Amino acid sequence: MNELPRTQALRCFITVAREGTVSRAAAVLNLTQPAVSLQLKGLEESVGLPLFNRTPGGFALTEAGAALLPLAHKAVSASSEFKAMAETLKEAQCGTLRVGTILDPEFTRLGPFVRSLAESAKETEVFLHHGVSDDVLARIGRGELDVGYYVDATPPDALPHHSFAERTIEDGRYRLAPLLSYDYRIIAPIAWSGQVMGKGWAELADLPWLATPTHSGHRRLLDEIFRPLGALPKRVAFTDQEEAMIDFVESGICLSLARDSVLAPRLSRLHNFIIADKVKVTCDLSFACLATRRQEPAIAHAFAAVQTAWDIKPTIAVTAGPRTRRVARNT
């Protein structure tokens, strides 16, 4: 094989393997059947191996085809990431910045950040995309966003004296600039006082919980606490809005995480929930980007702007560590 196969040929190979016939693959790819057949023939000639056995019922992968199929998927995915990154760099040169936002604008100081960014990079157009924490990070990884907000548990080595030094996660793939360390409390129906007060995570795992979206920080934080205990808790209700979480708890059916800033207005008036006294989750709200892009001018401006909005003096030290390192503090 003198050169790497073309992406179009690999797409045809993958689609025929999935669909089982050239005709169905052609319909999926919006190509003619002869075009798909030609691509397959060229790919087999290029690798010097038969990839399919032709049968009356359709196409079945040969042993070689089955071995090469996962690599074809990786090659097509890499090509897509290459194109996405090229588009990202092109847009950066045109003065655009795509920002992934989470939670509420007041909590993340989104307004002051955008204002600071406008003052420091007047020619930059800012596009805001609201979502949940893990989706924001994933979209940064795919090149669909340039920067974004992210929530994870504060690393153990940052406690009790939390440092706002930038750090990396996911084996150095992402760079985080911590902006705020805060607590998530565990709230429960007021009638459950005996089952919650004085209890640790193991006891709380036996109670029903509120579910949040799969890619939300709430879901990840709780799963990483409960999974080592042997099983995830039973989830009996679902919401993607923090205010609604308190409403579900007050209805008497489940436990939930809740930020102090969301709880505070409720505590000043009559409420029907209690706050667990033995457990909480201490988290960082951070600003994230791909580590390889941290020094690009537009992203450097964004980090400087968000740190200005939070009145944070950036430090040089970087704490590296896996994303899965989490902390659940007992009080």
Q: What is the pLDDT of residue 329?
A: 36
State the Cα–Cα distance between residues 117 and 111, nearest whole angstrom. 10
Q: Is 153 found in the same domain as 15?
A: no
Q: What is the pLDDT of residue 215?
A: 86
In Å, how far are 11, 13, 78, 127 from 8, measured between CA atoms? 5, 9, 13, 32
- Report how many domains make up the chain: 3
Q: Is 278 found in the same domain as 185?
A: yes
Q: Is 193 found in the same domain as 170?
A: no
Query: The domain spanning residue 121 has which CATH number?
Result: 3.40.190.10
Query: The domain spanning residue 25 has which CATH number?
Result: 1.10.10.10
State the Cα–Cα distance between residues 100 and 136, nearest whole angstrom. 6
What is the residue range of 311's domain? 91-180+285-323
Q: What is the pTM of this model?
A: 0.66
Query: Which helix (H) or strand (E) covers residue 61, if one does?
Result: strand 58-61
Contact present, 185 and 263 (Cβ < 8 Å):
yes
Q: Is 158 found in the same domain as 186?
A: no
Q: What is the dihedral of CA 50, 53, 59, 65, to 10 degrees?
A: -40
State the Cα–Cα distance between residues 265 and 179, nearest whole angstrom. 23
Q: What is the dihedral of CA 294, 295, 301, 307, to 10 degrees?
A: 50
> For the chain, how are helix, strand and coil distributed in percent, rounded to 5?
45, 25, 30
Q: What is the pLDDT of residue 78?
A: 87
Q: Is 292 found in the same domain as 158?
A: yes
Q: What is the pLDDT of residue 243?
A: 80
State the Cα–Cα distance between residues 20 and 241, nearest whole angstrom. 43
Q: Is 266 found in the same domain as 187?
A: yes
Q: What is the pLDDT of residue 89?
A: 63
State the Cα–Cα distance between residues 10 and 16, nearest whole angstrom. 10
Residue 2 domain-assigned (yes or no): no
Q: What is the pLDDT along the chain (331 residues), one digit of tens a residue?
A: 455 678 899 999 999 999 999 999 999 999 999 999 999 999 998 889 999 998 888 899 999 999 999 999 998 888 888 888 777 666 555 578 999 999 999 999 999 999 988 887 667 789 999 999 999 999 999 999 999 999 999 887 664 444 578 999 999 999 999 999 999 999 999 999 999 999 999 999 999 999 998 888 899 999 999 999 988 899 999 988 888 899 999 999 999 999 988 888 888 788 899 999 999 999 999 999 999 999 998 899 999 999 999 998 765 444 444 443 333 333 3
230 Cβ neighbours under 8 A, 6+ residues apart: none
